[in-house]
Structures are given as structure tokens and as C-alpha cells.
Amino acid sequence: MTVQPACAAPRPSSIACWVAAARPRTLPAAVAPVLVGSACAAHAGGFDAIAATLALAVALLLQIGTNFVNDWGDHRRGADGPERLGPTRAVAAGWITPRAMACGGAIAFALAAALGFVLVLRAGPAALLLGALSIAAGVAYTAGPFPLAYRGLGEPFVLAFFGPVAVCGTELVQRGSVSALALAASLPVGMLASAILVVNNVRDVATDARAGKRTLAVRIGAGAARRLYAALVVAALASPFVLWASGLAPASALLALGAAFAARAPLRAVARQTDGPALNGALAATARLHLVFGALLAAGIALAPSVAAGAAVGAP
């Protein structure tokens, strides 16, 4: 007789298992950077719809691959035990075998590499370097001899790869260079993506500590991690004003300040709640905040007259 794991939940259909393992609630984190990077390319007069679409597909595949490897890696290291407060993990629940999950991650990364190769042909070796680093980091997040998530480096990893790497990489593959605006705008995008992970790690701080997973929340404590979350969200929401005041972004970028309405609920939940369901809701709400902020910032940047058009109009 087959014995189900202690943390097993009723098994969905095979397709539903893989969809759950992809963690669709967190996938907007891959969309917002591409929107902002594409808007920066448009503002510079170099928007390319085909490259933008390919960049979005690559970003989604990279995140799905990372999520699959994370599911496999956390199970292998014993981090997804029966006391876990977050959503059910497919390998720990017995829905998908570890071998199949590892293969799923490899396939997602291979597809990302194949599509990325088209972008490399368009943008050159810099795009190849960014793509290779992204795949390596996705694997190293919870696998390999130095798993980043187990060393308290998850938040810096997310800030870097969902911020500057993703935003600037998106602009790079469209116009062949990176603007100061893209680099500056990438920081708040990365901050909010990192805030999503902070919620996750605050929720799991006790179980991660018992499993030896030394996340940043485990290292600095749940209270300090909650304050870090608030700092990341507030800094990100204040950034459109800073971008405009510094002359890097047009006044229309202030449209992103409208995302503040979506920040109140998760800020309050992370500050006050300790139960799994409430923090799961805060995680999903933070992912929505990230997408809304990214979409509004992208719209504000893209709606302004392009600097290339302005230069053409002002030319003698």
C-alpha cells in the first residue's frame, strides 16, 4: 500500500498539479519588469514589439523554472514539512515526483534559453551574459552547493534579477543599449519583487529555522523582516517622485503613485498578522501591488513624448 506524505493534500489533476507548481500568483513578478523595460525603450524611441514579447516569454519561463527547482530543492532539503503554512508544494505533497519536477525545471530553462537565443541574435553578447546569469541564478536559488535562499541572499537575488537585470535586459534587447531611466526605474520594480519574498519568508520563519533554511527573515528576526517589508514598499512607492524630481523620468511617471491604494492592505497584514492564511493573502496582494505599480509606471513613461521624437522635432 502506498503511504502518502504527512503534508499531502488531495491530489488535483496532473495539469492542475503543474499549474500549482508554477505558482501563478507570483508570476506577475516577471511581467512588471518587462512592462517597465519596454516603456523605457519606447520613451527612447526604440520599442520593438517582437523583442518585447520574446522577453516576456523568457521572463515567465525563467520564473517557472526557478519555481520548479525551488519545489524540488526545498523538498530535498526538508524545508517543506507538514507544519508548512504556505500553499501546498507539489513534490512534498506527492503530486509530482522529485525527478519529474527537476526535469520540469530543466525543460522550462531550456525553452527560455531557446527563445533567448533569438534575442541574443538581435542584441549581442550582453544579452547572452544576462540570460546565462539568470538561468544560473534560478538554479542556484535553492539548488547547488551554495543555495542562495538558504544563506539569506534571496531578497538581494530577487531585487537584482527582477529589477535591474530584467528591466534593463528588456530595454537592451529592444534598442541595443540601456538608458539611465531604465536603470533607475528598475530599482523600485526590484524592491517590490523583493517585498513579495519577504512576506513569504516572514510567514515561514519558524518552519524555515527548524529546517535549517537561514533566510533573511530567520537571520534578522520576523520583526525586523516586517520592517524591511514596509521600507521596501514605501521606498518603491516614493520612487516615481524621485525619478521625476531628478529629471530622469517625465512628469507622467507620477501616475505610478496611484499604486499606493493597493499597498494599504498588505502593509497592514504584514505588520499585524501572524497566521498562514492572512500572510498568504498579503503575499498575493503584494504581487498585485507589484504588477499595478509596474503597469502604471510603464504607462506613465510610455505616454510621455519619446526623447527620440523630441530630438527630431527640435533638430534644425
Sequence-distant (≥ 6) Cβ neighbours of residue 119 within 8 angstroms: 51, 54, 55, 58, 127, 131, 173
pLDDT at 7 over 70: no
Measuring CA to CA, which residue among 76, 110, 94, 129 is closest to residue 6? Answer: 94
Distance CA 278, CA 262 (A): 16
Q: How confident is the model at residue 310 (pLDDT cuts 50, 70, 90)?
A: very low
What pLDDT was estimated at residue 227?
97
CA distance 210 to 84: 11
Distance, in Å, from the CA atom of 33 to the CA atom of 160, rounded to the nearest integer, reads: 11
Q: What is the pLDDT of residues 174-209, one digit of tens each?
A: 999 999 999 999 999 999 999 999 999 999 898 888
Radius of gyration of the chain (CA): 20
Q: Extract the C-alpha cell encoding 258.
A: 496611484
From the centroid of its chain, how far is CA 144? 21
The percentage of the chain sitting over the pLDDT mark of 90, rounded to a whole number, equals 62
pLDDT one-digit tens code per residue, 238-287? 999 999 999 999 999 999 999 999 999 999 999 998 888 899 999 999 99
Place 150 in a pLDDT band, splitting at 50, 70 and 90.
confident
pLDDT at residue 80 greater than cutoff 70: no
Residue 94 near residue 8 (C-beta atoms within 8 A) = yes
State the DSSP code for 3. Answer: P
Question: Is residue 121 packed enough to be buried (19+ CB in 10 Å), middle (13-18) or exposed (0-12)?
Answer: exposed
Which of 87, 73, 115 minimizes the C-alpha distance to 19? Answer: 87
Residue 23 clears pLDDT 70, i.e. is over it:
yes
* Cα angle value 302/303/306 (rounded, 5°): 65
Cα separation, 45 vs 231, in Å, equals 34
- Helix 28-43 vs helix 180-203: angle between axes, to the nearest 10 degrees? 170
Handedness of CA 234, 240, 241, 247 (dihedral sign): positive
Give the tens place of pLDDT for each residue, 29-79.
Answer: 899 999 999 999 999 999 999 999 999 999 999 999 999 988 887 777 665
Of 79-93, 277-291, 293-307, the range with the lowest mean pLDDT is 79-93
What pLDDT band is residue 12 in, cutting at 50, 70 and 90? low
Amino acid at 191: M
Q: Closest Cα partner for 155 from 119, 117, 198, 112?
A: 198
Q: Are 45 and 307 in contact (CB under 8 A)?
A: yes
d(CA 90, CA 95): 5
How sure is the predictor about 22, in pLDDT bands with cuts at 50, 70 and 90? confident
Query: What is the rounded average pLDDT for all residues in the chain?
Result: 87
| Amino acid at position 207, single letter | T
Characterize 19-39 residue by residue with b for buried, 16 or more Cβ atoms within 10 angstroms of its Cβ, and e for exposed.
ebbbbebbbbbbbbbbbbbbb
Predicted local confidence at residue 210, as pLDDT = 83
